[in-house]
Chains A and B, each alone.
Chain A
Amino acid sequence: MNIRKNFLNSLIKDLEPQWREFKFIIYLLKQSPLVIAGFIIISIFIIAAIFAPWIAPYGPEERIWAEQMQPPSFKHLFGTDENGGDIFSRVIWGARIDLSIALTVVGSAAIIGSVIGAISGYMGGKIDEALMRVTDVFLAFPGLILAMAIAAALGRNLINLTIALIVVWWPSYARLIRGVVLSEREKLYVEAAKAIGAKNTRIIFKHILPNVIYPLLVNATLDLGSVILTAAGLSFIGFGAGAGIAEWGRMISDGRNYLFQAPWMATFPGLAILLSSLALNLVGDGLRDVLDPRLRR
């Protein structure tokens, strides 16, 4: 009992600096009204996505045939589309699709990219050279266009769209992580770990990778915004979501056909894209400013 208590006490003591750092970061973040605004907006979207069945007044593909192309009113806050679908509900259901695509893409790309980047940076030599040339090739394309080509080769649906975006996004993470690993590799604590006989995998994953958490977090937050934009753009030009699916890009593409009769059809899904992406950028920018000590003036 005593030993356990001692252990806990020493653990708490050991974590004290990290805890203080964390509290300081939160304190700094709270100083910026823009970060708070971004955080609130993105929380609203996440809550809407999770609790869509309870929040949305209608189902994602529910139609009220008698109420086609109605302008916004109390009954239909954002109006209805050409099939009598409630736009407000569809925007909420759309948050589910678009946010989960963004999370899947950024999550997978970050994991794949980190592993490859860490191996590349730590091993150095020929492996590093080869892996970096591969990332060069992927980075030689503008993101949207490479994703277009891949999605076209795989076939047009939401799953292939997600795969295509992962293929496009991993190289930037590999580059980022490689850079951090390269500079950490030379530090004394790595040498110490080597000296006591730690294996390479242990050094990479236990000692070096924890150092990349912050840059990774900043990048991932900013990327979530760009993935939402890119996915919606691809969906708009006919990839991804099929007819009738409540996905924001697809809804805008449908609304385009009725732009002058029912402008609300394209307006509200577009606002959802703009706001969610903006909120993620605000939070990401704030995180970067706070986590980079050089910018903390």
Chain B
Amino acid sequence: MKMRDYIIRRLILFLPVLLGVSMLTFTLSHLVGDPVAAYVTSEKISEERIQLIIKAHGLDKPIYIQYLYYLRDLLRGDWGISRSDSNRPVIESIRNYFPATLELTIVAMSLSLLMGIPIGIISATKKDKPIDHVVRVFALTGVSMPVFWLGLLLQYIFYYQFKVHGLPYLPLSQRIDPFIAIQHPVKQVTGLLLLDSLISLNPYAFKSALEHIIMPAFCLSYVTLALIARMMRASMLEVLRQDYIILARSKGLPEKIVIYKHALRNAMIPTVTVAGLAFGGLLSGAVLTETVFAWPGVGRWSTQAILTSDIGGIMGFTLLIAIIYVLANLIVDVLYAILDPRIRLG
């Protein structure tokens, strides 16, 4: 099968899943009780306005017609109203909060790849040495670590204890120091603070943003980092057992070349898959991490929405995450096919 056909087939499979996802959020917003709630603001509104809203979204029609209206609204970008976010349209809230989450997850993902892969390689090449045991225990605690608790622990040590002992400490929460944000305002281009402050040559804001992202990004990356290190170790060990590695070694190639040139490429394949699948965990983790670090992203917005029963916000968030997650899986599949010709040929 050609690469293009493979991608097209995967894209076609992608649509029914999205339909199913929208059906699920539709059902859930009806389970809550009054479906009108997702479209009205928290202020008192007149009976006439409510009737107008019911008409506009087809809420007086049979349930399957209502679903079609719902789909139409979603495609038009009318995702309802988020009451918890001062009655803004959901789409606007997403536009406001999503860049912060994106920035956090990108940094966390990069951290886990940049640290996880070398850690896995070292562990595999030094199998059963003390360093390998340390890595294995670390990888095991990774999958069992309550992220929110780790966040509190980091705050206690790197903010509170460091501050008490007069050491240079990391900021407790938020994305940027509010004073710096006022004195050296960052012009919004991409919404990613690190990138924006770099583009606008604003070193003060960049430094502050960098200091603020270290703790939450590390906290969020921990689980993925452990997963990637573990996978990298396992697949590296598997590859190092292969005949062509023995051949390369017996030819007298330096160990560095054997590992980084011959073994690494093959060992990367399973790691890419794990990294892609771990993306879902990263999104879940973002909800908890953002709550702990008061990070103004979609995760924190969603918890606010839940605590105030803001159904528009909750369903909008759920839908957004599902779309991203499905897309991420799609990308992993395609990447996998590029890396491993056996998949698309088989």
Residues of A within 8 A of B (CB): 133-134, 136-138, 140-146, 148-150, 152-154, 156, 225-226, 229, 232-233, 236-239, 249, 252, 255-256, 259-260, 263, 266-267, 270, 273-274, 277-278, 280-282, 285
Contacts and interface: CB of A to CB of B under 8 A. Distances in A.
Contact of B283 (A136, A142, A270, A280): A142
Contact of A136 (B20, B146, B280, B317): B20
B156 A149 contact: no
Contacts of B318: 141, 145-146, 148-149
Given A133-B16, A252-B149, A273-B146, A260 B156 contact: yes
A142 to B, nearest CB: 4
Contact of A142 (B28, B156, B284, B309): B284
A249 B152 CA distance: 13
Contacts of B281: 142
Contact of B144 (A136, A146, A229): A229
Contacts of A226: 143
B307 interface: yes
A137 B17 CA distance: 6
Task: Please name the 9 residue pairs, one residue from A and one from B, whose CB atoms are nearest each other, closest first.
Answer: A137-B20, A270-B149, A144-B284, A277-B144, A142-B280, A278-B144, A149-B318, A142-B284, A153-B31
Contact of B307 (A238, A266, A282): A238
B165 to A, nearest CB: 13
B321 A141 contact: yes
Interface residues of B, number: 47
A158 to B, nearest CB: 16
B275 interface: no
B17 A274 contact: no
Interface in B288-346: 288, 291-292, 302-303, 306-307, 309, 311, 314-315, 317-318, 321-322, 325-326
A274 B145 contact: yes
B174 to A, nearest CB: 16
B24 interface: yes
B53 interface: no
A148 B148 contact: no
B153 interface: yes
Interface of B: 16-17, 20-21, 23-25, 28-29, 31-32, 140-141, 143-149, 152-153, 155-156, 160, 280-281, 283-284, 287-288, 291-292, 302-303, 306-307, 309, 311, 314-315, 317-318, 321-322, 325-326
Given A238-B303, A278-B144, A252 B322 contact: no
A67 B140 CA distance: 37
B284 A266 contact: no
B146 A137 contact: no
A290 to B, nearest CB: 17
B143 A225 contact: yes
A263 B140 contact: no
A256 B16 CA distance: 42
A35 B155 CA distance: 33
Given A149-B25, A225-B143, A229-B144, A266 B20 contact: no
Given A152-B311, A153-B28, A153-B31, 16 more contacts: A133-B16, A138-B24, A140-B21, A140-B322, A142-B280, A145-B283, A145-B317, A153-B32, A153-B311, A156-B306, A238-B303, A255-B152, A267-B153, A270-B153, A277-B144, A281-B143
A103 to B, nearest CB: 17
Contacts of A274: 141, 144-146, 149
A141 B326 CA distance: 8
B124 to A, nearest CB: 16
A83 B153 CA distance: 22
A236 B21 contact: no
Given A133-B16, A252-B152, A266-B152, A225 B322 contact: no
B28 A136 contact: no
Contact of B146 (A134, A238, A270, A280): A270
Contacts of A273: 146, 149
Contacts of B145: 274
Given A144-B287, A237-B303, A260-B156, A137 B23 contact: yes
Contacts of A232: 146
Contacts of A259: 152, 155-156, 160
A172 B287 CA distance: 22
Contacts of A239: 306
Contact of B306 (A148, A225, A229): A148
B287 A148 contact: yes
Given A137-B23, A149-B28, A233-B147, A238 B156 contact: no
Nearest to A34: B140
Contacts of B156: 259-260, 263
B287 A145 contact: yes
14 contacts: A136-B16, A137-B23, A140-B20, A153-B28, A156-B306, A226-B143, A232-B146, A233-B146, A233-B147, A233-B148, A236-B148, A252-B148, A255-B152, A259-B160
Given A237-B287, A270-B152, A150 B28 contact: yes
A133 B148 contact: no
A168 B232 CA distance: 29
A225 B145 CA distance: 10
A282 B140 contact: yes
B160 A260 contact: yes
A153 B149 CA distance: 26
Nearest to B284: A144
A197 to B, nearest CB: 39
Nearest to A146: B318
Nearest to A135: B20
A237 B284 contact: no
Nearest to B23: A137
